[in-house]
Structure 1
Amino acid sequence: MPSARELTRLVGVCKAPVIQHFAETISGSTTIRSFDEESRFRDINLKLTDAYSRPKFNAAGTREWLCFRLDMMSSITFFFSLVFLIFIPEGVIDPGIAGLAVTYGLNLNIAWVIWVFCQMENKIISVERILQYTCVPSEPPLEIEENRPDHSWPPNGEVDICDLQVRYAPHMPLVLRGLTCTFLGGMKTGIVGRTGSGKSTLIQALFRIVEPAAGQIIIDGINISLIGLHDLRSRLSIIPQEPTMFEGTIRSNLDPLDEHTDGQIWEALDKCQLGDKVREKEGKLDSTVSENGENWSVGQRQLVCLGRVLLKKSKVLVLDEATASVDTATDNLIQQTLSQHFSNCTVITIAHRITSVLHSDMVLLLNNGLIEEFDSPNRLLENKSSSFAQLVAEYTVRSSSSFG
């Protein structure tokens, strides 16, 4: 039974990667075929299936071994009962047969009880896994009544980062190792750096997806760690790199909390040039959106994300390389809309392409969780020895060689 319990745990652990990889493969099948990588994904799927089949086979073997032992015990007990019956003196044969029947029935009942108990102990592993997840620490409260910001917060969108240190778990090293800088209200700041420098971690700390290990982030005089998550995240906006739409309708995707009128929604759609496309639909604002927005193109999904931001009218906007997955026309449209309607907002851009931050007011260059440079892009480019200038030169060389 201890072996069966551990094997059942292994089966549960090994099943999740198979399902996850299969789902990711199906959703990205077009990209996989375009790069001719079917064989690689097929091999990974077979390896994951083999890893799942090994504990599954052994778990089935333990069940069969239990059935065999129970059957053997029942047979041995019945055999000795039968031998005992043979040697019963003459004249008491009928009670002996009755005793044999009782012994056989009792033996079967005991075997059945043992089998059910073992099955229950194996199945209860699912409950054990649920209980493990209930012990995972929950997020901070959505609202803290004594620390609720005003409805107009943040009025300017100034972000002060003071000695910010972030790690993903108590036993892991620091990812951000003491950042101190200020994003002035209404300014456009680009955050650049090589892979692993801490760009995405800084944004996660801004939305409190990861809590700071030390230091603080202050937006217009309020420490964001002292207010509720809903009060914080509802006042910030983000356009992600991978556009996301949820199953439902256009209205529910643009205004999930029913905070805006139809006129405001149409106005946002017209600003992002999706109004005519939605009006062509039979249901208009109630047009159906399938799971993950599969019935809408990538560019249209990104414009819907832009429409969400236009509806919220936040003073702080985060762009996680929002135009990396769209065509040039959609890129120009998004950039034009942002410059027109967010000219007075604090815009923080996570740049995976160096050229996307050349028109920013300030550039923050991160290196190994520390600030290496923080200045205007023109000044950094004038200094040929600056790391930013070297990154731009390296990017230019790679781009020219790729197109050459």
Structure 2
Amino acid sequence: MDLLATCFVLFPAFAAVIAPNRVDATFLTLTLFYSINITARLQHAIRQSADAYNYMTSVERIDEYGDLPPEEDNGGESGRLIETSTDWPSRGEIRFHNYSLRYQSNEEATLKSAGKSSVFQGLLRLVNRSCIDGEILIDDVDIGRVTLKHLRSRISVIPQNPLLFSGTLRFNMDPLELYTDEQCWKVLEIVRLKETVSNHPQGLHMPIAESGHNLSSGQCQLVCVSRALLRQSRILLIDEATANVDHETDEFLQTLIVDEIKDRTVLTIAHRLNTVANNDRLLLLNDGKVVDFDVPDKVLSHL
């Protein structure tokens, strides 16, 4: 574009030098004036075109998401949902029965009787039923026979990348307003955020920027931990929760999990040994299959 714009300036400039008496001076001046401005105009046009293309990608995605089929929630092949007790799951016992998972119905199974992050997707039923074989039982209840809302409301998740929304701290901890302010303060004290929040003029209603940009990465993760503690679910899924925090916060979270969540079933995905060294059992996977499942000392001795 710059070369093309330069040519527009070059031709009238040559005309003025080669044949100064044959070209009208007024017309030549006007031509040069507009030609010089073409470079900036073309650059601006290209930039606007690129921006429009990028923004239309968002439109394409929204259109694609709008046409997504609803998640299957009819009880599976039997077509019969079941009702669980109000305190389900009370034990937090999880059993995989001949379970395998594929991300596409025509692909090879990525989860063969057990697996890594695919385990979490299976527990939360994030994969279409046609890509699943076998079943997952929580307290002897097939999770495929309960509604998605009921299932997911009974499981807490601490993600690798903290998930925070634009709003207040209170909203991010308890978006459905199911708990009291006293319960929120108690949880903040456990995760060592009480002092920080107390020093803010708005307290629990302190503003949180989109994705928690006004907090440190460690504070964002602690807010997610406080949300999980507040729900008191019997099952907690931790997906590399300490991957993006400093060493001090990492150690604190490990201690917190041992002290405050010891009465729950906690499944942790980790790539660092110190993250899972205090767990009751280690599950070692390779190519979607279980290689070893035992206490940490025995599993680590086989590595």
Q: Which TM-score band applies after superposition, normalised by the shorter structure? A: 0.7 to 0.9
Pair 1:158 & 2:96 matched: no
Aligned position for 2:237: 318
Cα pair distance change 1:333/1:133, threshold 3 Å? closer
Paired AA for residue 300 in structure 2: L
Pair 1:137 & 2:54 matched: no
Contact 1:167 1:174 in 2 (8 A): yes
TM-score w.r.t. structure 2 length? 0.74
Cα pair distance change 1:265/1:142, threshold 3 Å? farther
Whole-Å separation in 2 of the counterparts to 1:375 and 1:242: 29
The 10-residue stretch of structure 1 (229-238 or 141-150) with the greater mean CA deviation from structure 2? 141-150
Pair 1:168 & 2:103 matched: yes
SS at match of 2:113: strand
Contact 1:364 1:375 in 2 (8 A): yes
Pair 1:248 & 2:167 matched: yes
Q: CA deviation at 1:145?
A: 9.8
Contact 2:254 2:275 in 1 (8 A): no
**Deviations, residues 203-222 of structure 1 (Å, cap 9, x unaligned):** 11111112451011100011
SS at match of 1:356: helix
Pair 1:178 & 2:113 matched: yes
Cα pair distance change 1:217/1:151, threshold 3 Å? same
1:4-153 matches, within 5 Å, as 130=63, 133-141=65-73, 147-153=82-88
Whole-Å separation in 1 of the counterparts to 2:300 and 2:211: 41
Cα pair distance change 1:172/1:309, threshold 3 Å? same
Whole-Å separation in 2 of the counterparts to 1:342 and 1:225: 26
Contact 2:72 2:128 in 1 (8 A): no
Pair 1:199 & 2:116 matched: yes
Q: Which runs of 5+ in 1 are unaligned?
A: 1-48, 57-125, 180-197, 390-404
Paired AA for residue 165 in structure 1: S
Q: Which runs of 5+ in 2 are unaligned?
A: 1-45, 54-58
Higher share in helix: 1
Contact 2:74 2:81 in 1 (8 A): no
**Deviations, residues 294-344 of structure 1 (Å, cap 9, x unaligned):** 001111111101100110111111111211111122122212221111111
Whole-Å separation in 1 of the counterparts to 2:228 and 2:65: 33
**Deviations, residues 216-266 of structure 1 (Å, cap 9, x unaligned):** 110001111111111111111111111121100001000000000111111
Percent identity (aligned): 37
Contact 1:242 1:322 in 2 (8 A): yes
Contact 1:161 1:216 in 2 (8 A): yes
Match of 1:330 among 249, 255, 261: 249
Match of 2:190 among 265, 268, 271: 271
Q: CA deviation at 1:135?
A: 4.3
Whole-Å separation in 2 of the counterparts to 1:145 and 1:246: 36
SS at match of 1:257: coil
SS at match of 1:147: coil
Aligned residues: 245
**Deviations, residues 11-65 of structure 1 (Å, cap 9, x unaligned):** xxxxxxxxxxxxxxxxxxxxxxxxxxxxxxxxxxxxxx99x86xx8xxxxxxxxx
The 10-residue stretch of structure 1 (338-347 or 373-382) with the greater mean CA deviation from structure 2? 373-382
Whole-Å separation in 2 of the counterparts to 1:206 and 1:312: 18
Whole-Å separation in 1 of the counterparts to 2:274 and 2:238: 14
Q: CA deviation at 1:134?
A: 4.8
Paired AA for residue 116 in structure 2: K
1:339-350 matches, within 5 Å, as 339-350=258-269
Aligned position for 2:297: 378
CA RMSD of aligned residues (A): 2.6
Q: CA deviation at 1:140?
A: 2.9
SS at match of 1:160: strand
Whole-Å separation in 2 of the counterparts to 1:174 and 1:285: 45
SS at match of 2:245: coil
Pair 1:214 & 2:133 matched: yes
